[in-house]
Chain A
Amino acid sequence: MGAQIFSAVLAIVLGVGGCVVYFYGANKLVDIIFPSRGVSGAAAIDNLRRQGLIRPWLFIGPALLILTIYLIYPVVNTVITSFQNKAGEGFVGVANYQWALGDREFQNSIFNNLLWLLVVPAACTFLGLIIAVLTDKIWWGTIAKSLIFLPLAISFVGASVIWKFVYEYKGDGQVQIGILNAIVQGFGGAPQVWISMPFWNNFFLMVILIWIQTGFAMVILSSALRGIPEETLEAAVIDGANPFQIFWKIMIPQIWGTIMVVWTTITILVLKVFDIVLTMTNGQWNSQVLANLMFDWMFRGGGDFGRGAAIAVVIMLAVLPIMIWNIRQANKEGGL
Chain B
Amino acid sequence: MAQASGSSAGKSSFGRWGVHLAVLFFVVIWTIPTLGILVSSLRDKDQIIASGWWNSFFSSSQTQAGRLAPASAQQEKDGKFVIEGNIFETPGASQISAFGTRAQQPTAYEAGSVADLGDGETLQVNADGTYVHTSAKAFEGERGQRVYYASTVPPRFTTENYQTVLFSEGIGRSFLNSLTVTIPATVIPIMIAAFAAYALAWMRFPGRALLIAVIIGLLVVPLQMALIPLLEIYNGVGNLFGVPSKTYLGIWLAHTGFGLPFAIYLLRSYMAGLPRELMESARIDGASDFEIFMKIVLPLSFPVLASFAIFQFLWVWNDLLVAMVFLGSGNDQLVLTGRLNALLGSRGGDWEILTTSAFVTIIVPLIVFFSLQRYFVRGLLAGSVKGG
Contacts and interface: CB of A to CB of B under 8 A. Distances in A.
Interface of A: 1, 4-5, 7-8, 11-12, 15-16, 19-20, 23-24, 27, 31, 52-53, 55-57, 59-60, 62-64, 66-67, 69-75, 77-78, 81, 88, 127, 131, 134-135, 137-138, 140-141, 144, 146-158, 160-166, 168, 175-179, 182, 211, 214-216, 219-220, 223-224, 233-234, 237-238, 243, 246, 258, 260-262, 264-265, 268, 271-272, 274-275, 278-279, 291, 294-295, 298, 305, 308-309, 311-313, 315-316, 319, 322-323, 325-327, 329-331, 333, 335-336
Contact of B258 (A71, A265, A335): A71
Contact of B351 (A71, A138, A165): A165
Contact of A16 (B176, B188, B228, B232): B188
Given A59-B203, A71-B221, A298-B231, A219 B362 contact: no
Given A60-B196, A298-B231, A312-B224, 8 more contacts: A64-B196, A70-B256, A71-B261, A131-B26, A144-B26, A162-B358, A233-B5, A335-B272
B249 interface: yes
Given A8-B248, A74-B226, A279-B344, A63 B196 contact: yes
Secondary structure dominating the interface of B: helix
A147 B31 contact: yes
B205 A157 contact: no
A75 to B, nearest CB: 5
Contact of B52 (A71, A179, A260): A179
Contacts of A260: 388
A4 B248 contact: yes
B321 interface: yes
A333 B260 CA distance: 22
B258 A8 contact: no
Contacts of B216: 323, 326-327, 330, 335
For the complex, would chain A's binding face be called helix, strand, loop or mixed by DSSP majority? helix
Given A11-B249, A316-B221, A336-B209, A131 B384 contact: no
Contact of A176 (B52, B208, B209): B52
B284 interface: no
B151 to A, nearest CB: 14
B384 A220 contact: yes
B230 interface: yes
A19 B192 contact: yes
Interface stretch (B68-76, B99-107, B365-373): B365-373
Contact of B54 (A73, A179, A311, A316): A179
A335 B293 CA distance: 20
Interface in B354-386: 354-355, 357-358, 361-362, 365-366, 368-370, 373, 377, 380-381, 384-386
B225 interface: yes
A12 B1 contact: no
A42 to B, nearest CB: 19
Given A11-B248, A237-B7, A153 B258 contact: no
A24 B293 CA distance: 11
Contacts of A11: 184, 188, 248-249, 252
9 contacts: A7-B248, A8-B248, A52-B205, A153-B314, A178-B52, A262-B384, A265-B388, A323-B220, A325-B388
A157 B340 contact: yes
Interface of B: 1, 4-5, 7-10, 16, 19-20, 22-24, 26-27, 30-34, 36-37, 40, 48-54, 173, 176-177, 179-180, 183-184, 187-188, 191-193, 195-196, 198-200, 203-205, 208-209, 211-233, 248-249, 252-254, 256-258, 260-261, 264, 269, 272, 288-290, 293, 314, 317-321, 324-325, 332, 337, 340-341, 344, 351, 354-355, 357-358, 361-362, 365-366, 368-370, 373, 377, 380-381, 384-388
A216 B380 contact: yes
A335 B226 CA distance: 27
A220 B203 contact: no
A155 B228 contact: no
Contacts of A308: 227-228
- 7 pairs of A and B residues whose beta carbons are closest in the complex: A70-B257, A155-B318, A63-B196, A77-B229, A153-B369, A59-B199, A19-B191
Nearest to A227: B385
A221 to B, nearest CB: 10
Contacts of A331: 213
A134 B7 contact: no
Contacts of B381: 219-220, 223
A172 B40 CA distance: 22
A156 B180 CA distance: 20
Contacts of B52: 175-179, 182
Contact of B34 (A15, A162, A214, A316): A162
A134 B23 contact: yes
Given A59-B199, A156-B320, A53 B209 contact: no
Contact of A70 (B184, B214, B258): B258
A327 B228 contact: no
B118 to A, nearest CB: 30
A330 B214 CA distance: 11
Given A62-B192, A155-B365, A216-B380, A5 B180 contact: yes
A74 B225 contact: yes
Contacts of A64: 196, 211
Contacts of B196: 59-60, 62-64
B224 A272 contact: yes
Contact of B257 (A71, A224, A234): A71
B7 A177 contact: no
B10 A137 contact: yes
A327 B265 CA distance: 12
A218 B214 CA distance: 29
A70 B259 CA distance: 10
A330 B314 contact: no
B379 to A, nearest CB: 11
B385 A224 contact: yes
Contacts of B51: 175, 177
A70 B212 CA distance: 17
B384 A265 contact: yes
Contacts of A246: 8
B388 A144 contact: no
B144 to A, nearest CB: 28
